[in-house]
Amino acid sequence: MASTTMASWSTAFVWTIFSACLFLWSSEAQFLRPGGKHVCQDQAQVSIPKLCVDSFAQPQYTPYMTVCDGMRLCSSYKTTYKTAYRQVYKMETSTRTSYICCPGWTQRHKRAKGCLQPVCSKPCVHGRCVRPDTCECRKGWTGDVCDTDENECDADAHGCEQECVNSKGSFICTCRAGYRLNIDGKTCKATGEVTDAKYEALMLRVEELEQSMKRMTKMVADRPNDGVLPTLPPQIDRIGSLSEQISILEERLDDCTCRGDREDYYKK
């Protein structure tokens, strides 16, 4: 009775261990079905314990009395063998068919019946994996794993009206001196402000015009006076034109100076 109970417990224990191992081996693929997207068939050799009845020779010892040397009685025993039977487990190898995800694909969740999640051997740094070992990069990035900055300023598609400045994964538009960036972030609008370089250029132009006007005036003054001139010499018209240009430039210079003084005042 005791041996029968022990055999039952042994049988239950072996089957429990085997079932647990089998569950762990197939738990990831137990929901996959043939015909599922990117599902491949897999055949593996598995060993399954099988309960069998095995025969063996069981020794039996029978005591008996005999006459020893000196006419003494001695006890001894003889060994006989009989066929006995016992339950044993033998491992049988069989081919087990299961379903796994094809290379480059995995399940989106453990209960998925298909394999719709692509796998990239290297992570996509600034993008996402769209096909096995294929990354789709976010705007501004390029390369096999989206780790290389794309210089948008090298192409004409950036849309900046004046200047383009590249940055990591993006770019910004800037404007030259005397302009400011519009709300669209790409076009520029003149500020109406005269820069130092423009101011110096205007001053130089005024000086040049003043020198030209002095030379013209001297030429007219040195001209011999033959009486009343029937027509004005061309130098007179030139002097008048230079005078007007000087007046315009002086007004612009005064406006720049006043605006600069006002800005300095408000800054204080």
170-191 tens-digit pLDDT: 889 999 888 889 999 999 988 8
Which residue type sits at 264? D
User: What is the Cα–Cα distance from 12 to 16, expressed in whole angstroms?
Assistant: 6
Looking at 68, 87, 105, the residue that finishes a domain is 105
Q: Do 187 and 253 belong together in one domain?
A: no
Question: Per the domain annotation, does 93 fall within a domain?
Answer: yes
Q: How far is CA 86 from CA 80, 83, 206, 220, in A?
A: 19, 10, 123, 142
Percent over 90 (pLDDT), the chain: 18
Q: Where residue 156 sits, what CATH number does that domain have?
A: 2.10.25.10
Q: Do 182 and 217 belong together in one domain?
A: no
Asked if 144 and 132 touch (Cβ cutoff 8 Å), the reply is no
Predicted TM-score (pTM) above 0.75: no
Confidence of residue 103 (pLDDT cuts 50, 70, 90): very high
Question: Per the domain annotation, does 251 fall within a domain?
Answer: yes
Question: Per the domain annotation, does 185 fall within a domain?
Answer: yes
The number of folded domains in the chain is: 3
56-66 tens-digit pLDDT: 898 988 888 88
Q: Do 40 and 73 belong together in one domain?
A: yes
* Residue 195 DSSP class: P
Structural domain that includes position 262:
196-221+234-267
Question: Per the domain annotation, does 138 fall within a domain?
Answer: no
Confidence of residue 167 (pLDDT cuts 50, 70, 90): confident
Q: Do 176 and 212 belong together in one domain?
A: no
Written as six digits, the tokens of 72 are 């003494």
Question: Per the domain annotation, does 142 fall within a domain?
Answer: no
DSSP class per residue in 61-76: EEEEEEEETTTEEEEE
